[in-house]
Amino acid sequence: MSRRFVVALLLGALALAPSFAGAEEDSGSLEQLVAGTAHTKAEHQALAKYYEAQAAEAREVASRHQAIGRAYLGSKGANGKTLQGHCQKIAEQQEAMAKEYNALAELHEAEAKKAAQ
C-alpha cells in the first residue's frame, strides 16, 4: 500500500471520527499529525485514542452482524443459512479489524510513554 493511499485513508477516517477531535487539542492540525507522523506524547495519545475508538466501532459492527445472522437463521426464507454465513464472515472480519486497531493503539501508547521520558 502506498504511503499516499494510507495517509488519504487515515485522513478520511479521522475526519469521520468526532471522538478524535477532543484528543487532538494540543497536537496541531490533523494534516500535520498524519503527514509528519506522530512524534510527541500528545500526538501518540491522540492516535491511540482514535484507534481505540475504531476498535470499539468495529466490535459494534461485528455484534450487529451477529444479531442479523441470528435473525436470518430464524427466518423462513430459503437462503437463511447462506445469508447467516455472510453475516458471520463480516462479523469475523470486523473482530479481526478491532484486534488490529487495538494493536495500533497499544503501539502508540508505548510510543507516548517513550516520548514522555
pLDDT digits (tens, 9 = 90+) for 31-64: 455 546 778 898 889 889 989 999 999 999 999 9
| CA angle (43 as vertex; 53, 105 as ends), nearest 5 | 35
* Mean pLDDT of the 16-35 span: 50
Which pLDDT value is given to residue 13?
A: 55
Question: Which H helix or E strand runs over 36?
Answer: none
Most confident of 13-22, 55-64, 101-110: 55-64
Q: Coil, strand or helix: which one is 97?
A: helix
**How many distinct structural domains can be found in the chain?**
1
**What is the residue range of 53's domain?**
3-116
DSSP, res 40:
S
- Determine contact, residues 95/56, Cβ cutoff 8 Å: no
Q: Region 96-107: what's the mean pLDDT?
A: 95
Residue that has been written with the C-alpha cell 479489524 in this structure: 97
